[in-house]
Chains A and B, each alone.
Chain A
Amino acid sequence: MAERQTNHELYQRKIALRHAVIVASCAALLILSLIVSMNIGYIPLSPMDTLRTLMGDGTERETLILFQFRLPRILISVLVGAGLALSGCIVQGISRNALADPGLLGIHAGAGLMVILYVLFFGAQSFLSVLTLPFLALTGAGITAVMIYVLAFKPSDGVALLRLILTGLAVQAGISALTTVLVVKLDDTQFDFVALWQAGSIWGSNWKFILALLPWMLLLIPYVLMQSRVLDVLSFGDETAVSLGLGVEKERRRLLAAAVALAAVCVAVSGSIGFIGLIAPHLARRLVGPKHVILLPACGLIGAALLSAADTLARGIMQPAEIPAGIMAAMIGAPYFLYLLARTR
């Protein structure tokens, strides 16, 4: 009996160690991809040049390229990737369904409508206006989320997931139609901005936007990580959660609000990027299993790696044209979604 106990403990420890190694290698992989992506772009820099410049010893031109263009963009893609991935992880955990993704639910479109309207009327030049963007995106996403929830709710069976996704799709179609109607009056540059936003090009790639995004991330990500136990209990199913003494509806609403907020502030600076929130949680679950205390960090790292890799690819392979990261994400993500759909019964 005692022997079995120790065996069990050993096994637990082994698992924990394995997960730690996996997460650490995710982080290493992320850092590696960042180094690569610093070298890649319209003007290639060698790894040594990059390192020298980072240490503050580069030529003026190298410094400009790295600090004014490349670094902010990489950091934004890391932050946004992590944010979208965590948001997707929460939505999938709450709904206990593999197909859920804040982008599919039309959250992006709602946030985007507000952002597009604001940028068109006031521009995104001054620091103040950049700081207000996340608030606007939050408002738009919040309104959209409530609307979708109300429309998908039925007294007979609450919010059935599939109906939720269908409703999300429809609301998304409606919002993009509305956006189209609104952008009819635009001139060419404004029109290009809207097209780029919808394709998910990481447009807000300078330090201002990073500063606008950071406080939100520093607020939301720790909160989400603290809720990992609650997410675990929720993923057992409602009856179990209730019998364990959890206020299911209240917790679910809180977490959903956090997920929507995360997705909204991210797309405010990056444009509409789908599928990252769908794939990252899946990969993470495959690697470290369903426990949120380890799943969430792994998920955030993988999301960051995915998006920064997608952006690097977009900048690297398609010279001189730039393919928006959102398009790359959809090219990788949509087939995966279809594969999942074919597997579910």
Chain B
Amino acid sequence: MKQLQESVRPGPALHTQKKSRALAAWLIIILGPGLVAWLMALSITKGAADISLPLVWDALFRFDGGDIRHLIVADLRLPRVVASALAGAAFAVAGALMQGMTRNPLADSGLIGLNAGAGFALSLCFAFFPHLGYLKLILCSFLGAAFGGVLATGIASLGRSGALPMRLVLAGAAVSALLTALSQGVALYFNVAQNLMFWTLGGVAGSNWTQVSIMTPWIGAGLLGAVALSRFITLLSLGEEVAKGLGLNTVLVSILGSLLVLVLAGTAVSVLGAVSFVGLMVPHLARFLIGVDYRWIIPASAVLGAFLLVLADLGARTLTPPFEIPVGALISLIGVPFFLYLARRQRRAL
């Protein structure tokens, strides 16, 4: 199996490099988490109240319930930073899975209707069941995300040419427009526009330990599942025929992969709101640094995604004090030029 894998040359569509760079991968996967942890600590020190790094250390390991600064760290800033890191990793890995399975360089949870679907489901929840618990909200946002994603990919695959990258983006845009319009309509009619707006803008501001404790097992399981599946994703990324020829059960892998995408993206969306482009950019960066093997790309994407979102959250809180910039908007500003560059490189038309 291994020899076979190495003798197959990847197609030129997604992968510009011929070799995987294991060293770079190891560096990212081993040193990366340390860097992310340092950035998280740094992020905790920044904000309205003045808090130093040693104080963060004390709050974590020598907690004193009488000290108000300790409480700020433990109850406000830490959950928020942890939620950012988890959601970032989840978005990035979901994007990597999608891009690997579909060989579509433009795949991203925000671009194929998952976010809008989750938003629609949440608007219904806010309107009809205003007192749902957080766990049920997450489940609803899964269902909504699945609905949006299936709708967009299904429509894009109709027609003779199948789901070309650009077709998928167009279908995703239209499905998103439709579902967003529906959720806006519901929100206005039932007067829950404010709640929905707050959520849509991608806020981790309200993250608390309850949320973090509910999202952690889902995202943890999703990430582990993605790592376990990564070998087969590499095979799929060589193309359907090649993977089948190597004896891979492509249908099973696609189904498992799609489920993982839903769990990861659905959870992240329910916590963070509609953040696009993380799942688009990070896997490309990982591929650029590491190469074509998804056994490295997926863990590296998780690390890089966490880093990106913790950084974006830090920026959102500190760039324009006393106002917060919505995280989703900040990331879009970075993501759009990147998307444009990718769209220019696409050679195939409709």
Contact = CB atoms under 8 A, between A and B. Distances in A.
B329 A181 contact: yes
A181 B177 contact: no
Contacts of A167: 340, 343
B330 interface: yes
B325 A181 contact: yes
A334 interface: yes
Contacts of B328: 177, 180
Given A195-B197, A341-B170, A184 B323 contact: yes
A177 B333 contact: yes
Contacts, number: 128
Interface stretch (B91-99, B188-196, B254-262, B288-296): B188-196
B132 interface: no
The main secondary structure of chain A at its interface with chain B is helix
B113 to A, nearest CB: 11
Contact of A166 (B169, B174, B182): B169
Contact of B323 (A185, A274, A323, A326): A185
B160 A334 contact: no
Interface string B157-173: 01111000011011101
B349 A160 contact: yes
A169 interface: yes
A169 B169 contact: yes
Contacts of A170: 336, 339-340, 343
A2 interface: no
A170 to B, nearest CB: 5
The main secondary structure of chain B at its interface with chain A is helix
A324 B193 CA distance: 13
B170 A165 contact: yes
Given A180-B201, A184-B320, A163 B171 contact: no
Nearest to B202: A180
Given A162-B166, A341-B167, A177 B332 contact: yes
A108 B75 CA distance: 42
Given A184-B320, A195-B193, A274-B177, A341 B329 contact: no
A335 interface: yes
Contact of B173 (A104, A318, A321): A104
Contacts of A344: 159, 350
A61 to B, nearest CB: 27
A151 B344 CA distance: 8
A169 B188 contact: no
B155 interface: yes
17 contacts: A151-B340, A162-B349, A166-B170, A167-B340, A170-B339, A170-B340, A173-B332, A173-B335, A173-B336, A177-B328, A195-B193, A274-B177, A323-B188, A331-B181, A331-B185, A334-B181, A338-B155
Given A174-B332, A176-B332, 13 more contacts: A166-B346, A170-B343, A176-B329, A178-B333, A180-B201, A184-B324, A274-B177, A323-B188, A324-B188, A327-B181, A328-B185, A341-B156, A345-B350
